[in-house]
């Protein structure tokens, strides 16, 4: 099993550009989530999904969109990048959320100039 | 005040020392996680617990539900234990979501 994979590992964007961060898992997990990690702050939830076709907002959803057309994939779209979105982004998956072991992807380091 | 507070924020130890990292939370929870973030950035799950104590190798995690407190202990610490240790909770009202502490940076010197 590859576990949770994320692409790209690094990305530099200009303000106003859009892009999609990819996340995939091969463990048939129902629950998938996106977090951002900023210095001095804990991981913060952006969006999450409890199954294919079902998504919901987390703590910091503004400026991001998600979709979940398959169990395996959960892409995160930045609609119009802003410097405040410079961060490290982690995708995670688990069976049904917070009461099960969490599996994290390797992260994407995004810089918006 | 954050829902999840970790202490200390930074911890430096000598190889072989016994280490304790603390996590306090302010809400009722159904599960608590301890995670390890390596210097390269990857995050791995160490423990998930809802009561009592769990042990894996040199790592021990305990939780006191009444006191809303958990501890992560490392016995016979080693430089390879140097990492950020993160506490996260699933509260009773947050559905599937987790709330994270800011992490504890541990450095173990040889």
Which residue in B41, B45, B99 is closest to A102 by CB distance?
B45
Q: Which residue has the tokens 């950035």?
A: B41
Q: Which residue has the tokens 């294919």?
A: A52
Q: What is the pLDDT of residue A39?
A: 87
On chain B, the residues whose CB falls within 8 A of the CB of A101 are 45, 48
Q: Is the pLDDT of residue B72 over 80?
A: yes
- Give B87 to chain A, closest Cα distance, Å: 9
Confidence of residue B91 (pLDDT cuts 50, 70, 90): confident
Confidence of residue B67 (pLDDT cuts 50, 70, 90): very high
* Contact criterion met (CB < 8 Å) for A45 and B97: yes
Q: What is the pLDDT of residue B93?
A: 61
- Give A93 to chain B, closest Cα distance, Å: 11
Q: Is the pLDDT of residue B87 over 80?
A: yes
Closest of A10, A107, A21 to residue A65, by C-alpha: A21
Q: What is the pLDDT of residue A101?
A: 86
CA distances from A41 to A38, A50, B3, B39 (A): 6, 25, 13, 17
Q: What is the pLDDT of residues A18-53, one digit of tens each?
A: 999 999 999 999 999 999 999 888 899 999 999 999
DSSP-derived secondary structure letter, A83: G
Q: Is the pLDDT of residue B92 over 80?
A: no
Q: Give mean pLDDT, residues B91-95.
A: 65
Q: Give mean pLDDT, residues B61-69.
A: 95
Residue partners of B40: CB distance under 8 A and separation at least 6: none
Which residue in A50, A99, A101 is closest to B30 by CB distance?
A99
Percentage of residues in chain B with pLDDT exceeding 70?
Answer: 95
How are beta strands B19-25 and B69-74 bridged, if at all? antiparallel
Q: Give mean pLDDT, residues A90-100.
A: 82
- Give B107 to chain A, closest Cα distance, Å: 17
How are beta strands A44-51 and A103-104 bridged, if at all? unpaired
On chain B, the residues whose CB falls within 8 A of the CB of A41 are 102
Contact A94, A102 (CB under 8 A): yes
Q: What is the pLDDT of residues A54-79, one digit of tens each?
A: 999 999 999 999 999 999 999 999 99
**A 16-55 residues inside an 8 A Cβ radius of B:** 31, 33, 35, 40-45, 48, 50
The mean of the pLDDT values for chain B is 92
Count contacts between A and B (CB, < 8 Å).
70
CB atoms within 10 A of CB A64: 19
Closest of A84, A83, A101, A80 to residue A92, by C-alpha: A101
Q: What is the pLDDT of residues B26-44, one digit of tens each?
A: 988 889 999 999 987 899 9
User: Could you please report the per-residue DSSP string of B17-79?
Assistant: --EEEEEEESS-EEEEEEEEE-TTS-EEEEEEESSEEEEETTEEEEEETTTTEEEEEESS--G
């Amino acid at each position: 099993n590859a576990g949770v994979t994320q692409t790209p590992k690094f990305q530099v964007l200009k303000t106003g550009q859009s892009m999609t961060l990819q996340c995939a898992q091969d463990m048939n997990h129902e629950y998938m989530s996106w977090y951002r990690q900023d210095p001095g702050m804990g991981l913060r939830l952006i969006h999450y999904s409890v199954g294919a076709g079902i998504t919901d907002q987390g703590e910091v959803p503004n400026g991001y969109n998600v979709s979940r057309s398959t169990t395996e994939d959960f892409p995160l779209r930045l609609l119009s990048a802003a410097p405040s979105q410079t961060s490290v982004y982690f995708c995670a998956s688990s069976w049904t959320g917070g009461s099960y072991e969490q599996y994290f992807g390797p992260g994407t380091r995004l810089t918006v100039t | 005040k954050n829902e999840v507070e970790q202490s200390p924020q930074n911890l430096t130890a000598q190889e072989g020392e016994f280490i304790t990292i603390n996590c306090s939370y302010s809400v009722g929870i159904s599960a608590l996680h301890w995670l390890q973030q390596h210097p390269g950035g990857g995050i791995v799950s160490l423990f998930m617990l809802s009561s009592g104590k769990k042990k894996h190798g040199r790592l021990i995690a305990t939780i006191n539900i009444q006191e809303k407190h958990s501890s992560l202990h490392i016995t016979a610490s080693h430089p390879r234990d140097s990492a950020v240790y993160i506490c996260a909770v699933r509260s009773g009202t947050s559905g599937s979501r987790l709330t994270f502490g800011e992490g504890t940076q541990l450095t173990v010197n040889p």
